[in-house]
Every structure is written in structure tokens, then in C-alpha cells.
Amino acid sequence: MLWHIEPENDDSEGHEFLIGVYSTRANAEAAIERKRDQPGFRTHMDGFEIHETRLDLDYWSEGYDRGWPDGSITSADD
């Protein structure tokens, strides 16, 4: 998985973009090269991160609850 992470600063909240999911590290690195001259990416080339992942695997195998800003938790079924 190729991500681009723009950190939070005084002018921006910061952003995370999933660029794509590639079958090899070499393909992910080639995608970085394709983005090199594009707006936003060209001024934040250090924001690219490659994360290896397994395919055909459920990463979320259980249900979920909702957490709220006040710290309370409710069932997603409510």
C-alpha cells in the first residue's frame, strides 16, 4: 500500500492519501516516481510511505462500536 502523509502544521490539518495498492514494492516505487512532478507531491516528496500488507485477508474480523468525543461508547447497532 502506498500512502502519502502530509503532516499537520500551522496552515494545514494534515492529510493522508491512499495512493494505491501494488503487487510489489518495485511497482509502489514506480508510482512514487509518477507522482514526483505533480502538485502537492512535488513539495512533499518525503511524505511517501510504503506499507506491506497481505491480500485476501479480513483485517476487521469482529463487529464495531462507536466512540464519541465525550468518551462514551455506543453499539453500532443503536
Q: Give the Cα separation of 78 and 56 in Å (integer).
A: 30
- pLDDT reading at 15 higher than 70: yes
Q: Give the Cα separation of 52 and 43 in Å (integer).
A: 25
- pLDDT reading at 12 higher than 90: no
For residue 34, what pLDDT band results from cuts at 50, 70 and 90?
very high
Radius of gyration of the chain (CA): 17
Q: Percentage of the chain with pLDDT > 90?
A: 50
Please compute the mean of the pLDDT values over residues 30-40 and round it to a whole number: 95
Torsion of CA 15, 20, 21, 27, to 10 degrees: -120
| Under 8 Å between Cβ of 29 and 50 | yes
**What average pLDDT does the structure give for the chain?**
87
Q: Which amino acid is at 41?
A: F
- pLDDT reading at 78 higher than 70: no
Task: Specify the pLDDT at position 40.
Answer: 85
